[in-house]
Amino acid sequence: MESSYLMISLKMTGALALLIFGMKTMSEALQKMTGPQLRHVLGAMTTNRFTGVLTGILITLAAQSSSATTVMTVSFVNAGLLSLAQSISVIMGANIGTTLTAWIMSAGFSFNVTNVVWPLFLIAVILIHIRSRRLVGDLLFGVALLFFSLGVLSMTGKELDLAHNPSVVAFFSSFDSSSYLTILLFLVIGTVLTIIAQSSAAVMAITMVLCTSGVMSIYQGVALVLGENIGTTFTALLAALSGNTQARRAAVAHLTFNTIGVAWVMCLFFPMVDLACSIVGLDAMSAQQSPVKLSFVLATFHTMFNVSNTLILIGFIPQIERLCCWLVKGKASPEDEEFSLQYIHAGIMRTPEISVLQAQKEITVFTERMHTMLNLVSGMVNEHDNNKFDETYERVNKYEEMSDKMEIEIAHYLEQVSSAHLSDDTKIKIRNMMREIGELESIGDSCFNLARTLKRRLDQKEVFSEAMLSHLSLMLDLCDHAMSQMSLIMHGPKEDYSISDSYAIEADIDRHCQEFLRLNLDDVNNHVYNYGMGTIYVALIKECEKLGDYIINAVEARYNLK
């Protein structure tokens, strides 16, 4: 008997593994097939809370994974493409969309699907080997695995015959299902199991097996389902750990939304379960209960919970946003070190003229941030405290990452604008702006190269001579002057400023660069400092010269030269 139970348990564990793998395969195939469209919809349909909820529902129905939608939403918040309020509405919709999974599982438990999935497996394998149809094959294979695993779980539940196992029946009967303490205990168990398994679908399947086998009451099963809703939020929390403050707030919003929902549902727990049972046509207190109806009660309650919770809390999104901002405090570092787009927002594209204006404003912000980055680097030259140096270096590193993101996002936005019918002048503006952001990103790279070279100098415990410090300060001051002039040109009408000033500064940078490189050869030959120190010094001087080139290139792009 023990051997039989062991084999059945192994079969059930394997079926759960297949269930998770099938859901993952199906979800990944759907996301690959419609990935760009999903991301476009997520960005374009979140103009208000209601369209945000609808977007969350549609994307979760398509991806068959609320976790995928939530993680995608958190990543969009991290990239500055969605606001926190927009992300909350999408997460609400994702919770509704995921209820379809429970209904699919209920269908799997209602009849034996293992015999009808074999043709699906055959078609899937054939399509997988056809390169152009591989994704469709992966999708069908995932669906077949999903239903096959549900069928196996249903059969193993019957084979276990837990309803006639005195010890199992005694264990679950020892809990008073009419007690709130029991309901709270099973809610915690459901939460912990979902966190461990990282799959609410797997825990939902286990819940259905236990309920349909007759050993667990419907009240205990529903409590597990409520716990799954809290446990599934930890996927987004884990994904947000490496994100910025807004991303972590979005993940906490997911947890807050589900926790508030569970809190008020617990106050109406028994009436809501009885209502779900009556909708399915089941008597919750009856000793003789239909296994099929029990699985549908779980799916019904899951839908009732998520839909009603969204309807109640959709009007409190601003309050949830403020609560999350209070729970997740912003970093002490300046706000502009958190990447966000200030003028380009996700939403329906406006007229090309307004869109180009928004992009130009975003480029001025890009310019200001690169100027701040250069100022940070300049402060590192005379910094000898390792802790302060490392702190500034990390800030410079963040700005470099920010410059990469800003280039990509502004370029993507301009590509969208350029797909519309544009005048020749607007086309020229967009082409020039593309060049501007490319040069600004190069400025960010150049500043980071300066910071890395200065770090190498500190790590090697090399010391600048007074002449070196004077020369570096002069070069950095010239670069700062060039950046200030570029900022003026980027901000206001270019006609108000003369490009000749920028050319004059660039000429000074080049002239001093050549002069300092020549002096370096003399100093190394005269043993004023060693060759290693000379290489660091030369790298810094040459990088300043490159930085001057990138700045003048950006200015020329603004004036549509070359």
Predicted confidence band of residue 514 (pLDDT cuts 50, 70, 90): very high
**What is the average per-residue pLDDT within 216-227?**
85
Going from the C-alpha of 20 to that of each of 24, 25, 448, 511, the distances in angstroms are 6, 9, 43, 65
Looking at residue 81, its pLDDT comes to: 59
Predicted confidence band of residue 125 (pLDDT cuts 50, 70, 90): confident
- Do the beta carbons of residue 231 and residue 192 sit within 8 Å? yes
**What is the average per-residue pLDDT within 241-257?**
79
Q: What is the pLDDT of residues 288-347, one digit of tens each?
A: 556 667 778 888 888 888 899 999 988 888 888 888 888 887 655 454 555 566 666 544
Q: How far apart are CA 19 and CA 27, in angstroms?
A: 12
Looking at residue 437, its pLDDT comes to: 92
**What is the average per-residue pLDDT within 500-526?**
90
Could you give phi then psi for residue 130, rounded to 5 degrees?
-100, 110
Encode burial over 301-314: b for 16+ CB neighbours within 10 A, e otherwise: bbbbbbeebbeebb
Q: Where are the domains of the chain?
A: 2-327, 353-558
Looking at residue 417, its pLDDT comes to: 79
Residues with Cβ within 8 Å of 314's Cβ and at least 6 positions away in sequence, in order, are 49, 50, 53, 89, 92
> Which residue type occupies 26?
M
> What does the radius of gyration of the chain's CA atoms come to, in whole angstroms?
31
**What is the average per-residue pLDDT within 249-264?**
88
495 burial type by CB count under 10 A (0-12 exposed, 13-18 middle, 19+ buried): exposed
DSSP code per residue over 239-275: HHTTS-HHHHHHHHHHHHHHHHHHHHHHHTHHHHHHH
- Would you state the structure tokens that stand for residue 7, as one six-digit string? 């084999």
Number of Cα atoms under 13 Å in the Cβ half of residue 162: 21
- Give the range among 105-119, 366-380, 419-433, 454-468 with minimum mean pLDDT: 105-119
Whether 521 has a pLDDT exceeding 70, the answer reads yes
Looking at residue 422, its pLDDT comes to: 67
Going from the C-alpha of 225 to that of each of 86, 182, 215, 221, 236, the distances in angstroms are 27, 14, 16, 6, 19
Q: Mean of the per-residue pLDDT values for the chain? A: 79
- Do the beta carbons of residue 309 and residue 95 sit within 8 Å? yes
Q: How far apart are CA 397 and CA 401, in angstroms?
A: 6
In this structure, the number of other CB atoms found within 10 A of the CB of residue 271 comes to 9
The larger pLDDT score, comparing residue 129 to residue 1, is at 129
Looking at residue 539, its pLDDT comes to: 92
Looking at residue 559, its pLDDT comes to: 82
- Do the beta carbons of residue 69 and residue 254 sit within 8 Å? no
Residues with Cβ within 8 Å of 22's Cβ and at least 6 positions away in sequence, in order, are 141, 142, 143, 144, 145, 146, 148, 149
What HEC string does 458-486 produce? HHCCCCCCHHHHHHHHHHHHHHHHHHHHH
Looking at residue 418, its pLDDT comes to: 78
Helix crossing, 499-525 with 466-491: angle to 10°? 160
CA dihedral sign, ordered 197, 203, 209, 215:
positive
Predicted confidence band of residue 168 (pLDDT cuts 50, 70, 90): low
Whether 501 has a pLDDT exceeding 80, the answer reads yes
In this structure, the number of other CB atoms found within 10 A of the CB of residue 243 comes to 17
Looking at residue 483, its pLDDT comes to: 92
What HEC string does 437-462 produce? HHHHHHHHHHHHHHHHHHHHHHHCCC
| Cα end-to-end span (Å), the chain | 85
Q: How far apart are CA 169 and CA 215, in angstroms?
A: 6
Looking at residue 447, its pLDDT comes to: 94
Whether 143 has a pLDDT exceeding 90, the answer reads no
- Give the range among 9-13, 278-282, 452-456, 524-528 with minimum mean pLDDT: 9-13
**What is the average per-residue pLDDT within 207-224?**
80
Looking at residue 347, its pLDDT comes to: 44
Q: Give the residue from 560, 551, 479, 467 showing the smallest Cα distance to 516.
A: 467
- Give the range among 277-281, 353-357, 453-457, 534-538 with minimum mean pLDDT: 353-357
The larger pLDDT score, comparing residue 280 to residue 505, is at 505
Element (DSSP H or E) covering residue 324? helix 317-327
- Would you state the structure tokens that stand for residue 465, as one six-digit string? 């001579």
Q: How far apart are CA 291 and CA 306, in angstroms?
A: 23
DSSP summary character for residue 330: P
Domain at 353-558: CATH code: 1.20.58.220
- Give the range among 34-38, 339-343, 361-365, 501-505 with minimum mean pLDDT: 34-38
The larger pLDDT score, comparing residue 499 to residue 17, is at 499
Q: Give the residue from 560, 91, 79, 160 showing the smallest Cα distance to 309.
A: 91
- % of the chain beyond a pLDDT of 90: 15
Residues with Cβ within 8 Å of 555's Cβ and at least 6 positions away in sequence, in order, are 485, 486, 489, 499, 502
Q: What is the pLDDT of residues 542-554, one digit of tens each?
A: 999 999 999 999 9
Whether 156 has a pLDDT exceeding 70, the answer reads no
Alpha-carbon 89 to chain mean position: 15
Torsion of CA 25, 26, 28, 31, to 10 degrees: 170
Q: How far apart are CA 65 and CA 98, in angstroms?
A: 6
Whether 241 has a pLDDT exceeding 90, the answer reads no
- Would you state the structure tokens that stand for residue 548, as one six-digit string? 């001057």
Q: How far apart are CA 90 and CA 50, in angstroms?
A: 9
The larger pLDDT score, comparing residue 44 to residue 538, is at 538
Alpha-carbon 141 to chain mean position: 27
246 burial type by CB count under 10 A (0-12 exposed, 13-18 middle, 19+ buried): buried
Element (DSSP H or E) covering residue 230? helix 218-231
The larger pLDDT score, comparing residue 358 to residue 182, is at 182
Q: Give the residue from 410, 365, 362, 374 showing the smallest Cα distance to 546.
A: 374
- % of the chain beyond a pLDDT of 70: 75
Looking at residue 462, its pLDDT comes to: 81
